[in-house]
Structure 1
């Protein structure tokens, strides 16, 4: 069952599609009420989460949410990797606002389209303007924390400013109405995607018909019951190339969350397959906390949809942690796996060597204000942590708050890690 969508189907049907990779949507009407989730679907809220998790000022988010709900965002144009609109602010002239995101490469599209074509229920869901969880996760279709880059012509240097936040919230309403807008953001238009899915479905159906096995041979009952020496048992079946896919779990009132069931079943299948092929449990050496962080980090959402909030809440409560602790640990795991989590949680005293050479290298690169403490170099809002794996991990905090969150990509060079943190 899909979430109710009051806007679905009325607006996009009237938009001419001269160019399948460029769509412009008229300004959406004001949205009454600003409490609860802004979007009506899980994927619309996942889009909002990717911005909210990296925002440095919640006050700007709230103002942007009010701007979106009050109709300050003009017509929205969507092209591959880009969402643009004019947003009205406090000045008479509106600001040109833009959100950029990564498009999928050819391999990513192959994974996504193969996953959709392999299951007729996925195609049916898309045609009904619904987005299956497993399909969205098959090729990182939904943005994760840090995947959206806002830009605005206003003088506000917030990340994001309230105009970019308003555009992000309003874009979530477009995704509620038509998930194919998300495909367009990632690089391909609706007609192009549907044509490719049709071709793959026909090819798959023809292949399956051609591979129909012959009928199994029969044995007469007298022959089967005749006394005889039983042959040796046949060898075991070979291990399949990939773990099996769990069934689709329905959304039933009072039943466990279907997304959590799908996550646990997929996890069990993957661990069993690895154990059969290698004799090793890939997560057996992890502590309960590390395993909980790993599970949450593998989840396609970002922690703010109803289903993902429940997952974070339950995992954190089981280990006497808070959902914020878990969200911060997930960000560290996605940054560097177990080593990234260790960099978050374990201050240590590195031996003489790379750590001692870091400050002169930063000074030479015009970053002289980093202060050392154990394995960390800090300014008021930036921090580099030297991990036991000899990589540098970037962190960021609001100035004066000491609320450090992992950001950027680890690097063997402190200057390179700082450049990734600053987006250079």
Structure 2
């Protein structure tokens, strides 16, 4: 990735097609150039929630879904060249399937100085926001707090304007491919979005540091502000009835402490004293480690935005929980054999179950274990998806069996889940093994299942 500087003649958008690239001139604005990414294969274009929000803005903006479908294919096949990002504009050369190259631009309105001031003040108010930015994360509460301050970081419907030398008046396959590629960049670094909105990483972090230091100086003991706060009446408290009556106008509680970087380490039970009769120290250590991983995951879910509105998941069966435990903390063979027995599986089958769990939890495990007959409506929907995603003559020859479609002459299979998603499978050592997460696009799932050339 290279970082360069470029002039910008527009008050709100990045410079246009005729601008000359320059270096070291006062008034120039930052530009980051990302080398062309390899073909996406069967991977999703966005795994982070902010990358998915970017794609939602694209899909809500474009009027022609068929053009986006073609753009998604171009991006998946590696048709997008190096991507240039600068305030208000992203640019790339996109190669069509007939090898014709087009310059494509997508414009996003920059934030004004007053909006950036509100954003920086809001971020300094909450240490967790600064920590998230330093970790290259954009948690939902940061975006929501920014919106409450009148600053929309993520694009909304109609915010992504398209320009392309193919002269399409709306999003074309080339600008669509560029947007899908940018979603992959956003997954890696949300500062890409902040640069499009008008601030590069160095400037933003410098301004956050300056404001944080200024606030710390104001709040230090002995400062005029501190003396004012400690004047007569300070610390007298508020009557509980008055506080309750003012509950709707009181400031919010402090943000919850950030999630630790990893689960806690369990204590070692390797001591000089021998274990009590019937106690297996190795198995007990394994269970404690699994408990730490599960507690960490539950805490992460509890701290996620909107957790209280999520439905309560169904309790796991003993067999499901045994697989979950093996997936969380890979056991030594002796303990793995005991877990397989608890899960009602052969030891050799536990690896497939663990993989299925890692790719999709209970849903992934059910697709591994259960073969079902789709009803007429589900079968029609599956066949329609298979017919739509491949061009004429490109569709592989598939042999259907209930909810499973096997590519004729290969050890590759697609399994259709009850939720309408496709799961990639490949035969390894005589067993069908899951090889990736579910995909709404059967061609994407198949790309994951196919062995690399």
Higher CA-based Rg: 2
TM-score w.r.t. structure 2 length? Answer: 0.46
Answer 1 or 2: higher relative contact order, Cα 8 Å, separation at least 6: 1
TM-score w.r.t. structure 1 length? Answer: 0.49
